């Protein structure tokens, strides 16, 4: 028997060499990947899942705009 309960949630990891993204759902896998030196955990706070009227789901990634803001917005 496992010494801990398996909690199921999602964590994304990105390979530092290739840039590939991998999703893990089990607690044991997530803990092991956090210790792995070749992978970095991706912040998922900017990921939103939207359900459309026809019942389909779409995952959107909110991205921060690149660069500095325009001068009109600074005033």
Structure confidence by residue, pLDDT tens digits, 6-58: 455 778 899 999 988 888 888 889 899 999 999 999 876 666 677 777 878 77
> 70 in a domain, yes or no?
no
39, with CB counted inside 10 A (0-12, 13-18, 19+), is: buried
Strand order in the sheet with 39-42: 21-26, 8-15, 39-42
Residue 17: predicted pLDDT: 93
Domain of residue 52, residue span: 1-57
Q: How many structural domains comprise the chain?
A: 1
Residue 51: predicted pLDDT: 76
> 30 in a domain, yes or no?
yes
> 68 in a domain, yes or no?
no
Give me Rg for the CA atoms of the chain.
Answer: 18
CA distance 19 to 53: 34
Residue 2: predicted pLDDT: 45
Residue 10: predicted pLDDT: 78
pTM: 0.51
> Cβ neighbours of residue 4 under 8 Å, at least 6 residues apart?
27
């Amino acid at each position: 028997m496992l010494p801990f309960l398996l909690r199921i949630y999602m964590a994304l990891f990105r390979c530092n060499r290739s840039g590939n993204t991998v999703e893990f759902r089990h607690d044991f896998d997530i803990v092991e990947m956090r210790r792995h030196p070749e992978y970095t955990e991706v912040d998922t706070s900017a990921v939103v899942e939207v359900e459309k009227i026809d019942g389909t789901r779409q995952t959107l990634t909110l991205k921060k705009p690149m660069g500095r803001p325009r001068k009109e917005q600074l005033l």
